[in-house]
Amino acid sequence: MFAKYAYRRLSLLCFMLFTLTIFTFALNYLFPGELVTNFSGEVNSSYAQTQALVEKYRIEENIFVQYGAFMARMFEGDWGLSLSSGQPVLSHVQHLFPATLELCLYALTVAVIIGVPSGVIASAYHKKWPDKLINSLSLMGFSIPVFWLALLLIMAFCLGLGLFPMSGRIGLLYEIQPVTHFILIDIYLEGFPYGGAAFWDALHHLALPTVVLAMYPTTVLIRFTRDSMLEVLDQNYIKTARAKGLNRSQLIIHHALRNALLPVIKQIGLQFSTLITLAMITEVIFSWPGIGRWLIESIYQRDYPAIQGGLLAVSFFVIIANMLSDFIHSILDPLARNQAHGKV
């Protein structure tokens, strides 16, 4: 049963990725400018260079051959050069994406740690003051635009109180060798240089962007957990358990929680795409050197190869993340495997 489910999901994944590459490939034709430049990122190349590129990209052959050559290059890691920096797009992606991912992961962790228990508490005290408080706070958090929140926090904590730095991942004077490109892990791998000061500094830098980015998913998770919990608590088996004389904490922890959290787990996975979008805004405001800031700058500078590479990487990641959360959900919830068709 599970094998069949997995097969369905994987074929859907392949189809999605295929569509994504078609779209990225098509962008070369849709962007203004020379086709060769869009493909390679080489500007002002000489006649001989252009000819070599035309040959390499099979531009004079039919569209299927071109697509094949495009895919081959993608797999080889030749994603063209960025128009603004002249550096390979793939190396930009490799350097910048972990920073974004790191931020998103921390934000998601914060969201889960705060969101799920708050949702449970709200549902446990349904229509009592903790519920009302959590509800109104989450509504506020949900409604505040992320850029506005970021600016407010910068005003208060960076410029006003001077507690946190307002840009970057780490104080620039700390030279940390990028190995994994996850700053905390890299600092760990280097054996906490500078007597651990770099680690503290990195945590300081992380604090505000993480809080800002975590705000939206936290509120979503609170509301989702609360609703899901209320629904479960309303079911007959809970009523039976209650009739048997179980107290509230026994009811929630032993009987309701697992069932209520199943849809929440799926929701956590789905939050990833929203997170990446919000991360872009957060990155711009906090000058976080991630892929979002780079992508937005590339859009400003009309750096087409960079836009393509960035889009491909981000969409690829979001699709994979969604699929993974779907898988985990289905492992935990046997009923979900019975769905006739895959859903993303």
Partner 1 sequence: MRKLFFGVLCTALFGCTDQAPNKVNDKSQGLVYCAEANPVSFNPQVTTTGSTIDIIANQLYDTLISIDPESGEFLPELATSWQVSEDGKSFTFTLRDDVQFHDTLYFTPTRKMNADDVVFSFNRLFDVYNPYHFVGDANYPYFQSIGLDQLIRQVKKVDEHTVRFDLFNAESSFLSNIATDFAVILSKEYADQLIELEHKQDFDQKPVGTGPYKYREFLRDNLIRYYRHEDYWKHPVYMEQLVYDITTNGTSRIAKMLTKECDITAHPSATQLTVLEQRKDIEVEKAANLNIGYWAFNTEKPPFDNPLVRKALAHSIDFEKIMQAVFYNNGILARSMLPPSSWAFEAQQKMPTYDPEKAKEYLKQAGLEGGFSMTLWAMPVSRIYNPNARKMAELIQRDLRDIGVNARIVEYEWNTFIERVGRHEHDSVLLGWAADTPDPDNFFSPLLSCTATFSGKNPSNWCNPEFDLLLTQALDTNDMEERKYYYQQAQKMVIEQLPLVPIAHGLRFQATSSDIKGVSLRPFGGISLAEARRD
Q: Would you tell me which residues interact with partner 1 (CB under 8 A)?
A: 85, 87, 154, 158-159, 162, 165-168, 171-175, 188, 191-197, 199, 287, 289, 294, 297
Q: Which CB, 48 or 172, lies closer to partner 1?
A: 172
- For residues 290 and 283, give the distance between their C-alpha atoms in angstroms, rounded to a whole number: 7
Taking the complex as a whole, the smallest distance from the CB of residue 288 to partner 1 amounts, in Å, to: 11
Q: How do the residues of the chain divide into helix, strand and coil, expressed in percent and rounded to 5?
A: 75, 0, 25
Neighbours of 148 (CB within 10 A): 11
Taking the complex as a whole, the smallest distance from the CB of residue 166 to partner 1 amounts, in Å, to: 5
Q: Which CB, 171 or 342, lies closer to partner 1?
A: 171
Q: Which CB, 183 or 222, lies closer to partner 1?
A: 183
- For residues 133 and 137, give the distance between their C-alpha atoms in angstroms, rounded to a whole number: 6
Taking the complex as a whole, the smallest distance from the CB of residue 296 to partner 1 amounts, in Å, to: 12
Residue appearing with tokens 């936290």: 218
User: ∠ CA 19-23-27 to the nearest 5 degrees?
Assistant: 170
Structure tokens of 22? Answer: 């078609």
Residue appearing with tokens 């070599």: 52
Whether the Cβ atoms of residue 151 and residue 286 lie closer than 8 Å to each other: no
Taking the complex as a whole, the smallest distance from the CB of residue 155 to partner 1 amounts, in Å, to: 10
DSSP conformation letters of 166-232: -SSSS-TTS----SSS-HHHHHHHTTSTGGGHHHHHHHHHHHHHHHHHHHHHHHHHHHHHHHHHHHH
Structure tokens of 289? Answer: 């050197």
Q: Which CB, 68 or 196, lies closer to partner 1?
A: 196
Residue appearing with tokens 């760990």: 188
Q: Which CB, 16 or 296, lies closer to partner 1?
A: 296
Taking the complex as a whole, the smallest distance from the CB of residue 182 to partner 1 amounts, in Å, to: 14
Q: Which CB, 41 or 119, lies closer to partner 1?
A: 41
Taking the complex as a whole, the smallest distance from the CB of residue 140 to partner 1 amounts, in Å, to: 26
Which residues, in sequence order, are CB contacts of 154 under 8 Å at separation 6+? 166, 208, 285, 286
Taking the complex as a whole, the smallest distance from the CB of residue 308 to partner 1 amounts, in Å, to: 19
Q: Which CB, 50 or 84, lies closer to partner 1?
A: 84
